[in-house]
């Protein structure tokens, strides 16, 4: 029973509009629990989602982690001076991309003034600037410059997600918050399973979160588990023996620190994404830019559906 009722601790929030009783989001100090009762959490909500649209709709209402709820809402109320005219999203940020994606990119968590502001994965921060520019260069995105949810961005065969869907203080979710959020990622992987063929995981935190989620979603994760490293590649067979293997790629995170220090260069990112896209059956960059996007063999007419 307890495992299915994550987020049982409740403060004085108004659960309908997500705001505190006095008409403003609570600070972290004010978010200490005053009363407790059980409410449905990810472990109960996520498995019931029939489609990715359904999953996203449930996810954006999640309040399972009091610390993250307090931080995302306080950030949305206080804002950064450069964005004082914005109405921040201030809620969990769902995955973004087509429901039949062949390539999944897994990050860490939304940035406080990035995804938490714009409501879309990797949109509005330096990490996203690098990622979307590279995806566009590879013919996997319709544009390389992104600003908000209404900028017309399309992803081609690619979906973006993260193991934690709320912006955490100092960009550091706790292991407990990661584990509480895991059912969302598990269900997303299950719904993508008929089409997804490659997963690129950005950073060690995402790698550690993705492996148990992949195992729970139906892939056989070897023991000992593969160790994260930039350029690491491993294939995961379906646990039931049906369908194509999933190819897992490790890549340093596109964080501002990694890019500024040279730990991750654009060339390094481009190389991993290009290899993962080609492995997923999305063709080469030249084919995609020319409009000749390849169709994965197991998704062609008469092929397997996994």
Distance CA 278, CA 68 (A): 37
Candidates 192, 160, 162, 158; CA nearest to 274 is: 158
- Give the strand pairing for 158-161 and 103-106: parallel
| Residue 284 neighbours by CB under 8 Å, 6+ apart | 274, 278
pLDDT in tens, 245-291: 999 999 999 999 999 999 999 999 999 999 999 999 998 878 876 65
Res 303: pLDDT:
30
CA dihedral 86, 89, 94, 98 (to 10 degrees): -40
Lowest mean pLDDT among 18-27, 77-86, 164-173: 18-27
Q: Is 7 exposed, middle or buried (0-12, 13-18, 19+ CB in 10 A)?
A: buried
Question: What region, left, alpha or beta, does residue 218 occupy, with left being phi > 0 and alpha being psi -120 to 50 degrees?
Answer: left
Residue 202, beta-bridge partner list: 251
Q: N- to C-terminal Cα distance for the chain? A: 33
The pTM is what?
A: 0.82
Res 291: pLDDT:
57
Q: What is the mean pLDDT of the chain?
A: 85
pLDDT at 26 over 50: no
Distance CA 283, CA 205 (A): 29
* Architecture of the structural domain at 85-297: 3-Layer(aba) Sandwich (3.40)
Res 271: pLDDT:
98
Q: Where are the domains of the chain?
A: 85-297
pLDDT at 131 over 70: yes
């Amino acid at each position: 029973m307890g495992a299915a009722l994550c987020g049982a601790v409740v403060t004085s929030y108004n659960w309908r509009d997500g705001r505190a009783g006095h008409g403003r989001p609570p600070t972290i100090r004010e978010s200490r629990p005053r009363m407790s009762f059980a409410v449905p959490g990810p472990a109960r909500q996520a498995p019931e989602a029939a489609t990715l649209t359904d999953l996203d709709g449930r996810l954006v209402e999640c309040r399972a982690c009091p610390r993250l709820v307090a931080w995302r809402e306080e950030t949305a109320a206080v804002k950064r001076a450069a964005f004082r005219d914005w109405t921040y999203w201030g809620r969990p940020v769902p995955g973004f991309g087509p429901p039949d994606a062949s390539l999944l990119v897994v990050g860490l968590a939304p940035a406080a003034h990035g995804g938490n502001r714009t409501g879309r994965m990797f949109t509005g921060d330096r990490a996203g600037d690098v990622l979307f520019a590279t995806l566009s260069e590879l013919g996997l995105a319709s544009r390389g410059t992104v600003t908000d949810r209404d900028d017309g961005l399309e992803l081609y065969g690619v979906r973006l997600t993260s193991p934690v869907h709320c912006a955490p203080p100092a960009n550091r979710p706790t292991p407990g918050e990661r584990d509480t959020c895991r059912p969302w990622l598990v269900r997303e992987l299950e719904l993508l399973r008929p089409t997804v063929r490659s997963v690129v995981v950005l950073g060690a935190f995402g790698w550690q979160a993705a492996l148990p989620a992949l195992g729970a979603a139906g892939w056989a994760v070897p023991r000992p588990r593969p160790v994260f490293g930039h350029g690491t590649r491993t294939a995961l067979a379906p646990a039931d023996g049906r369908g194509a293997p999933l190819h897992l790629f490790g890549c340093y995170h596109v964080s501002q620190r990694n890019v500024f220090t040279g730990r991750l260069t654009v060339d390094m990112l481009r190389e991993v994404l290009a290899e993962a896209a080609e492995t997923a059956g999305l063709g080469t960059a030249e084919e995609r830019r020319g409009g000749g996007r390849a169709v994965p063999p197991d998704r062609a007419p008469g092929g397997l559906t996994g």
